[in-house]
Structure 1
């Protein structure tokens, strides 16, 4: 099913973008100087541009072309970017490490902290601390990520000048495994990671709180309390572990979507990841890059869900495959 899903999605995505009425013509026109569009020269440019755009459109049997794209995709060939004029695989390969660095880091940190806080909130449900934290996390969760990122960028970047306002590292450092470069990369990643961590942490905490409250009503928890099992053991082994199981699949799916980056965060902080690459491609209708990134996201999510299905029974022995 995973293989069929990936192949079907690749073909479907190709058809949607390849036969879209949009084209990169606007970007190409913008690169032409106004003086070049005067007189007879304009007619030549328009004719050349029209001929070039025709080469970008699909020709012939769409089934053959879809299978051709699928064949090239399986061999690592996703075409050439219209805007950047470079292979799509090269563009994604250059941007993907930066995206995985900030997104995966924020997801892991927020998951570990959020699960722990949510467990405490659920176990202490109804208390003043639980009410305050619940309102706080609901408020944070309600703030759009681009608003939160803009606030951090404005105050911590422009006003206070504590952190850089864009890029992945400073231009005056030499890229490589050296201390100045590592420090520069970490400083540039603080604001994007913090923004994504706060948003994700609120979601994990609220979800874990709800699971914990539900688990506290189970019979095995009541039986453990009746037997006089220590509260600490009930909280960690009986409630915590079972409440976290439903979050496992969500974590895997979130990590899969991380391959697509965070478009708003990367665009706000000018972070050179896949999200910013996708944003620029969409704005300029660079459909080879769009298709490449969307296919990578689908591939990562489907494989992640497959791994979640295969490993869930290892985490919860009660889950068995029936005949």
Structure 2
């Protein structure tokens, strides 16, 4: 996609930077369109990698749930395949996907962002943290580590809160320690 849409074949999207050379001369709406035009290929590259990983995680989760005993029991009761999948398998399989999503998302997004930032000549947190680690700039390393960790914790909190949406039987408030 990068080679065809932004490379030497079609030349639809730019391969470098976040703005055009005439960015200061553009109108307000032109600046927004120019910015999104430059982000099309980097975002597409990140989404394709994340989509493949999440698809694999979801597929494995569903295959594990389909082979469990309660699915065989539900089919033996005479339930249709659609009812078994959406009523029983989907809820339990999505719990595993939601549990694995935060770590997969943060890991893939920030690991892939370094490569995308290098390929498309973008200045971002991934490249900044990598260069800071190479140059032993410890305040920047700790700052980016703090930001990445904070984002990871927020995404994990969102994942925990979506548990109750997927399966209302889960109630964090009733747990006693």
TM-score bin, normalised by smaller chain: 0.7 to 0.9
Match of 1:217 in 2: 67
DSSP 3-state at the match of 2:92: helix
Gaps of 5+ in 1: 1-151
Question: Partner of 1:156 in structure 2?
Answer: 5
Distance 1:175 1:291, change over 3 A: farther
Contact 1:167 1:270 in 2 (8 A): yes
Quote the Cα distance in structure 1 between the aligned partners of 2:145 and 2:61: 32
Partner of 1:270: 121
CA shift for structure 1 position 212: 1.0
Q: Determine the structure 2 residue equivalent to 1:95.
A: none
Change in CA separation of 1:177 and 1:231 when aligned onto 2, cut-off 3 Å? farther
1:285 aligns with 2:120: no
Equivalent residue for 1:243?
93
Q: Deviations over 1:110-156 (max 9, x none)?
A: xxxxxxxxxxxxxxxxxxxxxxxxxxxxxxxxxxxxxxxxxx54443
Which entry has the higher C-alpha Rg, 1 or 2? 1
- Report what 1:104 is aligned to: none
261 and 278 in structure 1: CA distance in 2 versus 1, 3 angstrom threshold: farther
Q: Give the secondary-structure state (helix, strand or coil) at the position aligned to 2:7.
A: helix
Structure 2 residue 42 is the aligned partner of structure 1 residue 192: yes
Pick aligned residue for 1:305 from 141, 156, 160: 156
Alpha-carbon distance change, 273 to 205 in structure 1, aligned in 2, over 3 angstroms: same
Match of 1:127 in 2: none
Q: Distance in 2 between matches of 1:220 and 1:304?
A: 31
Equivalent residue number for residue 315 of structure 1: 166
How far 1:176 sits from its partner (Å)? 9.3
- Which residue does 1:230 correspond to in 2? 80
The 1:220/1:175 distance shift into structure 2, 3 A limit, reads farther
Q: Does 1:179 align with 2:29?
A: yes
Q: For residues 311 and 212 of structure 1, do their structure 2 counterparts lie closer, same or farther at Cα, with a shift above 3 Å needed?
A: closer
Higher relative contact order (CA 8 A, sep 6+): 1
Whether the 8 Å CA contact 1:281–1:290 is kept in 2: the answer is: yes
The 1:203/1:256 distance shift into structure 2, 3 A limit, reads closer
Q: Structure 2 unaligned runs (5+)?
A: none
Verify the 8 A CA contact 1:267 1:276 in the aligned structure 2: yes
| 1:203 alignment counterpart | 53
CA deviation profile, 1:264-306 (whole Å, cap 9, x unmatched): 1111111232112223333443332222111111222234334
Number of equivalences: 172
Shift of 1:164: 0.5
Q: Distance in 1 between matches of 2:91 and 2:128?
A: 39
- Structure 1 distance, partners of 2:131, 2:5, is 26
What secondary structure sits across from 1:253 in the alignment? helix
Asked if the contact 1:260/1:297 (under 8 Å) is kept, the reply is: no
